[in-house]
Structure 1
Amino acid sequence: MAKILLVLTGADHWTLADGTEHPTGFWAEEAAAPYEAFTTAGHEVVVATPGGVVPTVDRGSLAPDVNGGQEGAARVAATLDSFSALREPIALEDVDLDAYAAVFYPGGHGPMEDLAVSAASGRLLASALKSGKPLGVVCHGPAALLAADGPDGTNAFSGYRLTGFTNAEERQAGLADRAKWLLQDRLVEIGAEFQEGEPWAPFVIVDRNLVTGQNPASSAPLAAELLKKLT
């Protein structure tokens, strides 16, 4: 059995361009689906957040219409209820990468608020990438990659093929025009080779030890790819 680190946002809002605080947090499916996959495979999951704060789930991500109906919503909610580590996170700043076999970053809009500017998270991501350990990042989780700049200003993920929540999906979700910045644009700016699939459809990119997923529907396929790298 291996230990897998899930790094979640500690933010409960996303500050929009006009200063409005949009309620958010982590996206339920993006934590629940990997947790289910990892624990079913016999692995232990540890949660870390900035400052060790208990993470907030985006209430919108628990709705039936984003979970394939009431049955799907109930399943996700039940999985989160059984995920006791969510209620006892460790501080991201205290993480010892050597203790974990893999690292996974779920999304939600929360990472746009805190992980995108977290130096501790940026160092962890750069170290995980360099270590060769499986590193999974999904949806808005890649916002955290923006903080992985080296001393010379070059981002650790420059030149990597990856994906994340696209401009098209942000527009369809209705927040693109209100955002300070869009994730796809910023990932291109750091030198990543951004690739995108159809909006809302599962899409996963594997480049060396980095595995990225475009949207919530990509969470389970991404977790499966990560598990392949652990065998």
Structure 2
Amino acid sequence: MAPKVLVILTSHDKMGNTGKPTGWYLPEFAHPYEALEGHADIVVASPNGGASPLDPSSVEAFKSDESSVSFLNNKKSLWENTAKLSDFLGKAKEFDAIFFVGGHGPMWDLAVDATSHKLISEFADENKVISAVCHGPAALTQVKLSNGKHLLAGEPVTGFSNSEETAVGLVEVMPFSLEDALNEGSGGKYSKAAQDWTSHVVVGRGGKLITGQNPASASDVGKAIKQAIGA
């Protein structure tokens, strides 16, 4: 039987109080999906269920990226008909991994979503793979395990860096600094690539925690998930 991966998308579609659209970021789903397709069964959920907002700026930015364009054109049902996150509580045993797609949306909903936090804790209790890329690790910043410890305590972790957030001009818009929150939760174990916008994947929790820094890391995160679940 093929391994199963639960992919989580944001339901949040507005960038703070700017009125600008946001959501999940195209290559951060397209590239890991490409790595896992045919090797794992993929189930997609979001906090609200139904259609999950795709950040239009990511479509524009990756219009020359063949795999992103193909994914956009051929896989719409994946994000237009997501299951509701709460449907999966108590079902971590049925999956091999959970993966949080980035984009700025998770900074507003998944970062503070109690259902998401409980689900991640259940995946940790079952020793399943917990993974995220770019702003997806926002979902991990407040997760407590069943023993009361922080999920990230003492574990190496990465996510979108302060310098990259500064470069895209969104530091003032974000509800918090992802780099700072990850660094605090992990007890100073946040790391980033020597050069912004290059791939950087970090593995912790004995191979069960996989995080990627930015869009360039998405493909490598997908490959790391594939390897971790033996797909």
- Could you state the TM-score of these two structures normalised by the residue count of structure 2? 0.89
Aligned partner of 1:140 among 126, 129, 135? 135
Tell me the equivalent position of 1:195.
Answer: 191
Structure with greater proportional helix content: 1
2:124·2:145 contact (CA, 8 Å) conserved in 1? no
Tell me the CA shift for residue 126 of structure 1.
1.8
- The match for 1:80 is 72
Aligned partner of 2:87: which letter?
Answer: D
Tell me, yes or no, if structure 1 residue 50 matches structure 2 residue 47: yes
Distance 1:99 1:57 in 2: 27
Distance 1:123 1:184 in 2: 22
CA distance in 2, matches of 1:179, 1:49: 20
Work out whether residues 28 and 62 of structure 1, in 8 Å CA contact, stay in contact via their aligned partners in 2. yes
Contact 2:142 2:185 in 1 (8 A): no
Q: Which amino acid aligns with 1:226?
A: I
Corresponding residue of 1:206: 203
Per the alignment, residue 226 of structure 1 pairs with 225
SS at 2:153's partner residue?
coil
Q: Deviations along 1:138-197, whole A, 9 cap, x unmatched?
A: 000011112313578642222111000000000011111333321111122223411111
Letter in 1 for 2:172: D
Partner of 2:119: 124
Distance 1:47 1:171, change over 3 A: same
Number of residues of Structure 1 aligned to a counterpart in Structure 2: 222
Cα offsets for 1:34-57 (capped at 9, x unmatched) = 11111143x221101002131110
Q: How does 1:1-231 map to 2 (within 5 A)?
A: 1-15=2-16, 19-41=17-39, 43-63=40-60, 66-67=61-62, 70-72=63-65, 75-83=67-75, 84-95=77-88, 96-150=91-145, 154-192=149-187, 193-197=189-193, 198-207=195-204, 208=206, 209-231=208-230
Contact 1:119 1:147 in 2 (8 A): no
Does the CA contact (< 8 Å) of 1:122 and 1:146 recur in 2? no
Residues 43-83 of structure 1: per-residue CA shift (max 9 Å, x gap) = 221101002131110000011xx33xx431x5413213322
Match of 1:51, SS state, is coil
Contact 2:156 2:186 in 1 (8 A): no
How large is the RMSD of aligned CA atoms in angstroms?
1.8
Identity %: 34
- What CA distance in whole angstroms lies between the structure 2 residues aligned with 1:154 and 1:175? 31
Distance, in Å, in 1 between the alignment partners of 2:228 and 2:48 is 29
The 2-side partners of 1:127 and 1:24 are apart by: 29
AA paired with 1:194?
Y
DSSP 3-state at the match of 1:129: helix
Distance 1:90 1:33 in 2: 21
Asked whether the 8 Å contact 1:13–1:113 carries over to 2, the reply is no
Deviations 1:15-35 (A, max 9, x none): 1xxx33432000000011111
Aligned counterparts of 1:163 and 1:188: Cα–Cα separation in 2:
8
Write the deviation string for residues 112-143 of structure 1: whole angstroms up to 9, x where unpaired.
01001101101111222232222211000011
